[in-house]
Structure 1
């Protein structure tokens, strides 16, 4: 399953960036940034099902930080907050896996 994004999530990112929802002029750049952030999450070991769940607040925060930091400029070093959120998301998913697979036996 590849990383993907939805129109609803794209509109959420536009709202964060204070862009009009009906302004399509930046859609290509924003989709690229969203997918790039999701690829980083995938590389960090976050399960694809979690990454593609646009309802998870931590996913929204991480991708929002990434897009705010890189929109309209060259991609460069990300703030520590971005990586902190990824670590927190990993811990949350590990705890869920342990609870589901080890604690129930």
Structure 2
């Protein structure tokens, strides 16, 4: 895979983008698990005990579309992504699996 064409595939480092908050994806590494989401998925309404950041118009860089989300590990590696709208049960199941609890 061409390293200049990464688009948020699980198992790879998250692409560097500037988020609407003014932070970049580099700023959120090391701060715990972070859910990066497209603007139309409703992910900000889910209380999963992890940080949330909007991708704004950068959602295509993560391959999640306007409704999807990407789960970022503390080391900047993408653990999971979806193009579907928010689903609390799915997200909590994913967290149980990746956190082994």
TM-score, scaled to structure 2: 0.28
Structure with the greater alpha carbon radius of gyration: 1
TM-score (norm 1): 0.27
User: When you count strand as a share of all residues, which structure comes out higher?
Assistant: 2
Q: Which has the higher helix share?
A: 1
